[in-house]
A and B are shown apart, each in its own frame.
Chain A
Amino acid sequence: MPFETNVFINCPFDKDYVPLLKSLVFTIIYCGFEPQLSITRSGANIRINEIKKLIKGSKYSVHDLSRCKPMKIGELPRFNVPYELGLDIGCFEYGGAKLKRKVILILETEKFHYQKVLSDIAGQDIQDHNDEPKKVIQKVRHWLATNNIHLSFDGPTEIWNSFNLFNSDLNATLSSNFTKHEIEEMSVVEYMKFTKNWVKIKKQYG
């Protein structure tokens, strides 16, 4: 796992979040980085130990706080994401020289929502996405480019259009053997594998 290109993703894995997760994973792979998610690891280890390893092994982290509130009446807010954000900030603060180079991006739905629920994170890089995949692509691409000025990055429109075309190609390829529902429900692990393959060839053929 190369530290310099690993991006730890700390986000919900529920069905409603899937469109945002897909756009997040696609952008990271498209920009030449490697997404690191706890959901892609085997269940043999205690989950939090796996998460600590991923945090320590990733220079970059994206934490999405957008689901730290009830999404429906009667639903409870969830605190796994802010808990893991705290671990990551702790890793940066108390870790060695290598970990002082960690770069953290925090995403939320609406601007300044965090001020009401987690005001101690003021001063971090916090961006809003309004629950729109296209905004996730814009914000994550911009953050990676800003922190890697020695690398060249395609523009947000190019990445967004590529994301749309990739989804079309993926559906066309799989539709002869799988239903639309099965394609939509594909695990993030499989989605990442197809994305890597497609991006590699897309970059070769321009």
Chain B
Amino acid sequence: MSKIQYTRALGKLLTTSIQNSKESVRYHIVSGLTQNWSVISEGSTKAVKSFSEQEEAINYAKQKVANRTGEIVIHTKTGQIGSRIPVGI
């Protein structure tokens, strides 16, 4: 039995994260619909760039975060969170 119950407060918190997300330095590595890996900036649903290998996509995202503090979120092929890599200073 799940312990998570939807509440207005949690729902509001979730939507706050979308509204503030454009300010965060966070990149998502998402498996594309074709055989590729997309780098998506937080607050957008459009790919910044796509790569054939996941490793290349992660390296590109690390370069984008360079000199700042941020995070790279790597998604699994099912769309869930695989891992989070803190990067930057």
Check B14–A169 contact: CB distance below 8 A. Answer: yes
Among the 9-residue stretches A50-58, A61-69, A85-93, A155-163, the one with 4 or more Cβ atoms under 8 Å from chain B is A155-163
Check A161–B13 contact: CB distance below 8 A. Answer: no
B18: which A residues are within 8 A, CB to CB?
Answer: 169, 198, 201-202, 205
Interface residues of B in 6-53 (CB under 8 A from A): 6, 10-11, 13-15, 17-19, 21, 28, 30-33, 38, 40, 42, 45-47
A22: which B residues are within 8 A, CB to CB?
Answer: 79
Instruction: Report the separation of the CA atoms of residues A180 and B82 in the bound assembly, to the nearest whole angstrom.
Output: 11
Q: Does A168 contact B (CB under 8 A)?
A: yes
Check B31–A134 contact: CB distance below 8 A. Answer: yes
Instruction: Report the separation of the CA atoms of residues A134 and B79 in the bound assembly, to the nearest whole angstrom.
Output: 8
Interface string of A135-174 (1 = CB under 8 A from B): 0001000000000000000001110111111011111111
Q: Does B67 contact A (CB under 8 A)?
A: no
Given A161-B40, A165-B45, check contact A182 B3 (CB 8 Å): yes
Q: Does A46 contact B (CB under 8 A)?
A: no
Check B4–A186 contact: CB distance below 8 A. Answer: yes
Instruction: Report the separation of the CA atoms of residues A161 and B38 in the bound assembly, to the nearest whole angstrom.
Output: 9
Q: Does B2 contact A (CB under 8 A)?
A: yes
Q: Does A194 contact B (CB under 8 A)?
A: yes
> What is the interface of chain B mostly: helix, strand, loop, or mixed?
mixed
How extensive is the interface on chain A, given as a class?
A: 35 or more
Q: Does A39 contact B (CB under 8 A)?
A: no
From residue B65, how far is it (CB to closest CB) to chain A in Å? 16
Q: Does A183 contact B (CB under 8 A)?
A: yes
Q: Does A193 contact B (CB under 8 A)?
A: yes
Q: Does B75 contact A (CB under 8 A)?
A: yes
Check A167–B15 contact: CB distance below 8 A. Answer: no
Q: Does A4 contact B (CB under 8 A)?
A: no
Q: Does A38 contact B (CB under 8 A)?
A: no
Instruction: Report the separation of the CA atoms of residues A160 and B50 in the bound assembly, to the nearest whole angstrom.
Output: 15
From residue A188, how far is it (CB to closest CB) to chain B in Å? 10
Given A134-B79, A157-B33, A167-B75, check contact A174 B10 (CB 8 Å): yes
Check A167–B79 contact: CB distance below 8 A. Answer: yes
